[in-house]
Structure 1
Amino acid sequence: MKILEIKNMTKRFGGLVAVDDLSFQVEKGSIFGLIGPNGAGKTTVFNSITRFYDPEEGEVILRTQDDEINLLNYKSHQIANFGLARTFQNVELFGNMSVLDNMLVGAHTNIKTNFLIEGFRLPGFRNKENEAKEKAMDILGFLGLKKLANQFAKSQPYGVQKLLELGRVLMTEPRIILLDEPAAGMNDSETDKLSELLMKIRDEYNLTIFLVEHDMGLVMDICDEIVAINFGKSIMQGTPQEIQASPEVQEAYLGGDDEL
């Protein structure tokens, strides 16, 4: 099943066409990559899917077992309710909060109570809060961060902060996660561990991963399918092997002289 479909998306900033009649599909349960040279429009695509931007044209269809949802009909704060969550290029944590409390921020969309229950901290709220803490600790354990739960987020190394941001996304119980340059700022060892972790997350949590990434080694190693874009237009969609062999993709990246 195609869990996510972009249909004829166009996004303009004044006279600049950042995304130009772009279409592609993401298979459920896959790791899908969006690649392109600097300025190709990759983050604009992410920002349009998650409703930070309003495309002038097109549709963004999220499919469930029972329904098709055009995300462009909703506001950015509503997107998580449909099981879609994302990270950003820059780490967006609450530095003066603990690692555990940062994780709990990701649970707020799934804690359904009301003003009286929360205001008076009635048993129903405390039960949900305890469930969220238990879930957060389980995810921290999965990420190898459990021993850091009570430490400040800002005191953690950059690689740990990136993992914490990923863990917070998992707290939202997503069906699909959008990762904007997850390996940015990581060394080779950290990137190798991230590659293994993303495949494990896909399998253990039964979800779809859609990533934008400049590290071609990571992309080619873990992605089932990739779409390459340039100047907001699609060059091609295919397997890593097909993308690597494409003269059009080589031209966009390297002037056509070498393979990716």
Structure 2
Amino acid sequence: MHSCDITYIDVNRQSHCLSQEVTRQDTDNTSGSELHSRSDAKHVPLPWKLLPEPAAEQGCGDQEEDGALLPLALRSALDGDLVESQVGRSTERGSRLGKGSRWWTEICALQLCPLSGFPISMLPYPPYKFRMDPQRAVPHRLVDGKYLALLVISKGEVDVCGRVLVSTDVESLDAYVHRCKLGPFRLGKALSLARVIACEGALGRTEAARELSKLCKAARCELFRLQKIQKNRVLKIQQTSDREPGLIGCVQSFF
């Protein structure tokens, strides 16, 4: 079996079996011909149902904000813990000040990623600074950027921390993933493929559908792997450390 059996835990701590969302072309029993014959907007490889009626009315070359393709689906479980930066845009470059600049590891252990519930200070890479207002650097919220990218690509629809992603978020997130060397998971690429699939008569729709399906499946598997790594790290701390009771208490809700 080559399929990935995944249980995804959303921000409300509800379990979902993502393996049921994988399209028929991802299973061993399905021939490749189904993808060739069912690449219209209604049969975009799940879970990328990014093609509501308003989007279909746009021209295929329309450069509207990518956020218009992202319907509301998830709500952040946390409403507080906004980060009011005192140094504004200069802090956006914090992770590039030097190899020893691991500023996020000094953050209070109680500050969790609102998407994964994992402590920000335990991330092996800098957190992503998600703007509460896409036009303003502050206030922002620290999130696990890799988790965010994988989540959006896996589900294809997301409302993060109370607002819908827009094109500037897509560009910023892709730049972050590239800068931190977090893999080939680019939301901009997924949106470009979805846009090709949405355009009736566009060349390469079948190939785009196949490539998007492959990207979504890879993102789901990587998300599952990341969840396992984070859970194991929390378990290890619970089992071996008694020096940070505040951390132990706050991460128990991770499960």
TM-score (norm 1): 0.29
**Structure possessing the higher relative contact order (Cα contacts under 8 Å, 6 or more residues apart):** 1
> Counting strand residues as a fraction of each chain, which structure ranks higher?
1
> Counting helix residues as a fraction of each chain, which structure ranks higher?
2
